[in-house]
Structure 1
Amino acid sequence: MSTSSTANSRTARLIEVFSAIQGEGQNVGTRQIFIRFAQCDLRCHFCDSVHTWEVPESCRIERSPGERDFETHVNPVTQEHLLQWVQRQHQPGLHDSISLTGGEPLLHASFLQSFLPLVRQQTSLPVYLETGGHRPQQLRQILTHLDSIGMDLKLPSVSGETWWQAHRQCLQAAHSAGVEVFVKIIIAAQTDLTDLLQAAQLVAAVSPEIPVFLQPVTPLEQLHPKQVPLAVPRPDQVLAWQSLLKQTLQWVRVIPQTHKMIAQL
């Protein structure tokens, strides 16, 4: 799979656009306009969005915020159309921010570089990026257009992916730019203690004040051939790991995927 951006500055490949409650990390419980981009260059064992790994022929766009009255449009989509769809969702006072999610949104960095100033001008909403935190060059392209970043830190023992250097570069770039950033770490019964220690040291080296969210894995009902089954960590494991990370980090919270508990997309 190519590691270059999948989109030019005028078009993007989408999965969907919709309004929902954010269920993970620092923004949990807030209402967001979600722009879900297609394609990801990672194959995490715990991924619950394997449908975003490739580019579909079409995407689905919600007509009315929260109504799930989707219509279908052909990929790729233009900036103009995406701006229209976001504006249709943007009812006064309803949303707290716009979420760029995926897939991996940074694969569309060239598109976002020109799109984000326009959508910010149109809505005045803060822009929040959800990223795997492994593409520092693309992140630097759009940092000035972001208000906050939720960065996954992939533990090799849980995700099957190893990106320590890239994670460090992304976290440092966001912190140095003064963009609000937090780290999300998926934990499972299989979590290797060495991985957690390395993750804590990586974050602390940038700033011990960066919030870290431990997210117990949500069991998958159906596995992709490139995934392996992961077990939910025991309560005593979670408590011990939080205690360990708090030795070097100021803010370590445990939050599961709350949007699944309330049947949100």
Structure 2
Amino acid sequence: MTERPAGSVERDVTNLQIGPSHVEWKGDALEITIEERDKRLFNPFRRKVRGKVRVIPESLNPASFALDPAENHIWHCMAPRARIEVDMEEPGVSWSGQGYFDHNRGSEPLEDGFRTWHWSRAHMKEGAVVCYEGERGDGSVFASAIRFGADGIPEIADLPPAARLPSSGWHIKRRTRSDLGVSEVIRTWEDTPFYARSELSTQLYGEDVVSVQESLDMRRFASPVVQFMLPYRMPKEKR
């Protein structure tokens, strides 16, 4: 990822262009064309990252959800279930599997609206379930569980008991939801000073599932130390 100025961004009804990369609806699939370079800590050489990712929704959900009373932050799970096809040229890897597609939008920075949040998503035998909870910037809390049917239509569900997880390597506090109040971390995919994404083994609504879980600490993100560190991991294009 590279931070880019507004002049490097264009969009129309079906296409979003960010620098040399773009995201475009083509028929029934969302096609992501990646033209980037990575950046590793203390490594001045930026390798090319180039290829395509296709996201093919099994169904589409038209409903969005506000994460705060003022509706400054909106979450939209567009495809609760999807298939993905990844074909990278650099590095030369490819695979296919299950996927998911959502986005957040807002009228203020995330660090103004939230202190922490925890999110998880699991494929069920039919449809999918998303659990979303956290603490807003004003100290109020929110928590919800949403079940999506095979047709993608959402329905608010009873919130399963909280299940605490071990802190990440950077001591980010993690939590999720489970029928039995317990869950196991299979592996952590991303572990940073303010964010962790993990694969979990858990039980939801009577089904044994594998879920994707993330925890975000916006107080950590906004700290001067982390802001100083970010450019070493995420290059910034000059305006």
Q: TM-score, normalized by length of structure 1?
A: 0.28
The structure in which a higher percent of residues are helix is: 1
The structure in which a higher percent of residues are strand is: 2
Q: TM-score, normalized by length of structure 2?
A: 0.30
